[in-house]
Each structure stands twice: as C-alpha cells, then as structure tokens.
Amino acid sequence: MLKKSLMVFLILLMTSSVVTLLTGCQEKTIYQEKIAVDLVSLPFYESTLKYNAEPSTEMQSKLYDYFFNDKEEKEYIIVTNDGKEIGEKIIDVLPESGSDLYPIVEKIKESGYKVLYRDYYYVTTVEDEIIATFNGERELYPNNKYFKFIEDNTGAYKNKDYSTINDYIIKNNIMIFSKTITEERKTNP
C-alpha cells in the first residue's frame, strides 16, 4: 500500500512538473507589462495601467496642440500602454475650441491612455527599465544618487524584486530617464 501511494505521489509530482514546463515557469508580473513612456520611465505606479493621473491642465495643453495645430506641427499623440496610436478613434465629437477638451481629457484619463510627445515616447516594461538602470543605460535625477541607488538595491535586483526597487525610487523621490530616447524607440517600437 505504501509503495502504491508513493508511486501515485511521484507520478503526480512528475505530471505537475511537466505541466509547469509546458505552460511556462512563471506568470507574467505587472513589472513585465508594457508601458508607454516619454522622458521619465520610472517610478511606476500600478494604477497608471488603468488610469492616467497626469494633471488635467497639462493634458489639456498637450491636447490643444494635438487638435489645433497643423498636422505637420503636431507634437503629441494619443497611445495605449502598448504604444498603439489610437488618436481620434476614442473621441465621439471633435472639439471646436479649447474649452471642449475637458470631456476628452476625462475619457483619456479614465481609459489609462497617454498623450505623449511624438518623437520621445517608447514602449518598455518596469523590468527592462530597472535592468537598463543597473546596466548604466539610464540616468537618475537627482544624478548624485546613482551609486547609492545601485548599492541599496543590488540584493533586490539579484532577486528580481522589482517591487522593492520601485518602492525605493518612489520613497527617495528619484526619477529615471532614458539617455537615448530616440534610439529606444527604434529598438522598442
């Protein structure tokens, strides 16, 4: 009886191992989700995947450029977090003046879309940004905190504990920038 129980246990263990290998070793984490960014890539707030917390006045200014400048002069685009340009597809009625922008701002904010600078946005993940930071491919503001940042977060980085690193960035008021934004766009469209 003990042999049969042990045999069943081993078969179940082997089966679960094979299933794990076939379905992937681990599930995708929030730090591996695509995010569209421009200029500042971190800190990351989980809510930004579902809601854009950018101040309404800043977004209205960008949208004014988007709707009322000539096509050749437009500097901003409206994108999803995976970088797909959605533009006017999300808008029911095109604005006739700047005062008509508020409903559009609210719709963009509630959908988690981004209004980003056309030439400087790219799609990335928090994981990729943290790896790039540890590889010296990102800049920190304030820049005098880079070595302390690396020193304080090496253990978390080795353990792929991106949550702890992101919390550290938030707690210490650090912003992380891409050094070569236009090059990033070419490699991560």
Using CA atoms of 22, 27, 28, 30 in order, give the dihedral in degrees to the nearest 10: 180
**Residue written as token pair 């253990």:** 155
> Distance between alpha carbon 66 and the CA centroid of its chain, in Å?
22
What DSSP character marks residue 29?
Answer: P
Please answer whether residues 112 and 51 qualify as being in contact, where contact means their C-beta atoms are separated by less than 8 angstroms.
yes
Least confident among 22-26, 167-171, 183-187: 183-187
pLDDT tens, position by position, 44-64:
999 988 999 999 999 999 999
Q: How many CB atoms lie within 10 A of CB 182?
A: 10
| Whole-model pTM over 0.95 | no
Average of per-residue pLDDT across 126-146:
94
pLDDT tens, position by position, 85-115:
998 888 888 899 988 999 999 999 999 999 9
